[in-house]
Amino acid sequence: MKINDSHIPVLNSEFILEKFDNEILLYSVAGTTAVYLNETGYLVWCLCNENRPIGKIIALLEEAYPEQRRYIRDDVIAVINSLAENEVIVLNNE
């Protein structure tokens, strides 16, 4: 699936969260799947919690971390792709 800025990530509520300092693990009992997220992944995952389109998530992070601006889009897309592949999120159209 080709991701675009208007897709809205929606969290899969089957995943249990365990927070370890700045990293998290998500675990789905139904799917017996574990997903590891580093600090960046965790941040993106948190921003997926309020029905924001991906473009808005990128814009929020670019505003918060202007010095990282040139990396943020690729990082966010990579995390979103990984979360979608592991069924942590589903992507809806705006």
Q: What are phi and psi of 26, to 5 degrees?
A: -115, 140
Nearer to other proteins, 23 or 50 (CB): 23
Give the closest residue to 41 by CA, choosing from 54, 59, 24, 27. Answer: 24
Q: At what angle do helices 54-64 and 39-47 cross, to 10 degrees?
A: 130
Provide the minimum distance between the beta carbon of 73 and other proteins in the complex, in angstroms, as a whole number: 25
60: tokens are 């929020």
- The verdict on 82 binding other proteins (CB under 8 A) reads no
Residues 9-48 that bind other proteins (CB under 8 A): 16, 18, 20-21, 23-25, 27, 29, 32, 34, 36
Contact set with other proteins (CB under 8 A): 16, 18, 20-21, 23-25, 27, 29, 32, 34, 36
